[in-house]
Amino acid sequence: MNLKKLLLVAAALLAVVLFFYLDLGRFLTLSSLKANRQWLLDYYASHAVVTAAAFTAIYILQTALSLPGAAVLSLAAGAIFGSLVGTLCAVLAATIGATLAFLVTRYLLRDLVAARFGARLEGLNRELETRGVNYLLFLRLVPLFPFFLINLAAGLTRLPLRSFVLGTFVGIIPGGFVFVNAGASLAGISSLRDVASPRVIGSFALLGLFALIPVLYGKLKNRRGNPPGPLSH
């Protein structure tokens, strides 16, 4: 690893350490968002561009460094910008952050990530290698695995960058809209569980099954094209 790569890794590690050392996570809670919502709205009213840029940068860093707080940031997008603009900001920021994590894993931390999560990522890697963007869409739509783990797994595969970006952007729109739209009515939320209800998760699962249709069709076609040979005794 050359000096430039070492500096990038060191900067990322320093940012993670500072996040926990300074307890910055206390600002990424539902109670903190509710307490500061009016101030955020007032600031946005007088500094719209600065607020949008700062929010997007924070969301990108949070996603790229796999830090906690994504759900609250999505709620904040709705609380500050409204449902439509908030969804656009949140989805774009999350996609950029995920792409950075994907690239860092692929080109800087491949060995480290494989050693740390190798066993957990084996099945994911295999499916992403063979099924590509359709399986990635399924993973983004259905919350079977943590968001950050999918970024790491995809970085270890030969999945093209374009496919990763497209699958991530499209796949997180439904979930992003649900959280952002809930944030636009922040007063009615007392817990994050109020947003991710079983009915909502079930709807995502149904969307995920549609994304898997080409994958299942491909497997069925392969089985028909390669019938089992005669049994040997």
pLDDT single digits (tens) 89-133: 999 999 999 999 999 998 888 887 877 776 777 777 777 877 788
Whole-structure pTM value: 0.83
CA distance 131 to 215: 6
Average pLDDT over every residue of 19-35: 94
* Of 48-52, 218-222, 226-230, minimum mean pLDDT range: 226-230
Average pLDDT over every residue of 145-171: 90
Amino acid identity of 36?
N
Higher per-residue confidence, 200 vs 40? 40
* Of 83-87, 101-105, 172-176, 211-215, minimum mean pLDDT range: 211-215
CB proximity list for 164: less than 8 A, separation 6 or greater: 98, 99, 102, 133, 136, 154
CA distance 75 to 193: 13
Residue 51 has which token pair? 């607020």
pLDDT for the residue 227: 54
Positive or negative: CA dihedral 116, 119, 120, 122? positive
Task: Name the burial class of residue 36, with classes exposed (0-12), middle (13-18) and buried (19+) by CB atoms within 10 angstroms of its CB.
Answer: middle
Task: Name the burial class of residue 224, with classes exposed (0-12), middle (13-18) and buried (19+) by CB atoms within 10 angstroms of its CB.
Answer: exposed
Grouping H, G, I as helix, E, B as strand and the rest as coil, residue 22 is coil
Average pLDDT over every residue of 25-40: 94
Q: Residue ranges per domain, the chain?
A: 3-215
